[in-house]
Amino acid sequence: MVDLRPALPPEIVYTIVSRAIARHLDDVLVGPLSLLAVPSNQKCDNETGDLVNSLLAVSYQIRRTTLNVLATFLGIKLSCYGIWRLQAPPCSVLKPVRGYLIQRLDLRADDRVLKALLCNTEHSEPPALAVYTYTHALEEICARPFDSVAVTDPDGISAPVVIPFNYISQLFRLHVLKNYAECPEALQEVLFERMEGALARSDAEMFYGTVLPPIEEMWGRISAVAHRVTDDALSLAVTAFDEVIGNLVRVLRKIRRGEDEVLRGWPHSVSVDAAIGAKRLDAWCALFNEMADLECVCDSAEELREVAQDLADSFHARLESLEAAEGRRSVRRAAGTEAEVGVA
């Protein structure tokens, strides 16, 4: 059967189809059509959804462009004989990635992505899917940070290798950026916001996630014994405790200086406070307010109260600013939803 309709300029067709499929794949992997939003018992035939099936039925030109885009995005070989077809169904590539993206990862366990990276083996996924995979892993380790992870030799020959958190985070970041650079432009447009958010959270974790937990632990030990050193007769204990508090003050001052540098050089469109999150900011406000209320006869206590109050005020102001910004975004989203309903 001959298609008598005039052909559209191929570059325009490719741009339209590639952008439509890029957004659709994003929906399938992490959006409203993902396993996060729909039951996991979907049939494999529906992995790419109705959009792709509709595009394949429009015309020979649209069909070939659609198959070409899918082949490029998913790394599937394309058979260019007759009406053209993919040599493997898209679900064979998408299904394992969709399943991986709903997993809660613990990199202290046996994680396939971490093993592949540390063994210097190239990931078998095409760049677009690799961005989703590595971004998910990066978000997971930032959600549940750790000091280090011991990677064991599967053959049991070598001793476990202890890899610090910062190294793993940087490794994932490099692979996210490398694969993003290799993605087609239509996919880069869709991936940018998600990737940028993950990189911002990683940068925030690199500083705040590594310097503040030890402070929390140090403060826990100090506050547990603070009430015991209020008697001037315990001069030896007071002197030792004063040294501990003095060390904490010096650490807090370093944090304040380091934080100023982080805020000045922040490179992301996502704000540093949005990357940290309101829940964490609120917890740190409470921590520094508790330090500011320390009652102790030690010479360094007053200095600690002063530095802690400064940090508490700073974090509180940033928390209020973040909550106000999130409130404005919620209002805009609600207004946009109402407008769409009105148009429909």
Which tens digits make up the pLDDT trace of 152-171?
665 555 566 666 667 777 77
Backbone angles phi, psi at 283, to 5 degrees: -65, -40
Structure tokens at 201: 């959270």
- According to DSSP H, which parts of the chain are helical? 10-30, 49-56, 60-74, 91-100, 112-118, 127-143, 165-181, 185-225, 235-264, 272-276, 278-292, 301-343
Which tens digits make up the pLDDT trace of 277-313?
888 888 888 888 888 887 766 677 788 888 888 888 8
The pTM assigned to this predicted structure is 0.72
Alpha-carbon distance of 107 to 98, in angstroms, equals 19
Mean pLDDT of 249-274: 81
CB atoms within 10 A of CB 308: 22
User: Does residue 164 sit in helix, strand or coil?
Assistant: strand
Alpha-carbon distance of 114 to 108, in angstroms, equals 10
pLDDT(242) > 80: no
Q: Is there a contact between 74 and 64 (Cβ–Cβ < 8 Å)?
A: no
Which tens digits make up the pLDDT trace of 95-145?
888 888 887 766 655 555 566 665 545 556 788 888 888 888 888 877 766
Residue 135 covered by a domain: yes
| Predicted pLDDT of residue 341 | 45
298 with 337, same domain: the answer is yes
The DSSP call for residue 227 is G
233 with 301, same domain: the answer is yes
Residue 194 covered by a domain: no
72 with 111, same domain: the answer is no
Strand partners, 78: 86
- With cut-offs at 50, 70 and 90, classify the pLDDT of residue 47: low
Q: Is there a contact between 169 and 142 (Cβ–Cβ < 8 Å)?
A: yes
- Domain range for 262 is 208-343
CB atoms within 10 A of CB 34: 15
Overall domain count for the chain: 3
Boundary-marking domain end, from 149, 183, 217: 183
47 with 109, same domain: the answer is no
pLDDT(322) > 60: yes
141 with 64, same domain: the answer is no
108 with 74, same domain: the answer is no
Alpha-carbon distance of 32 to 171, in angstroms, equals 30
Residue 98 covered by a domain: no
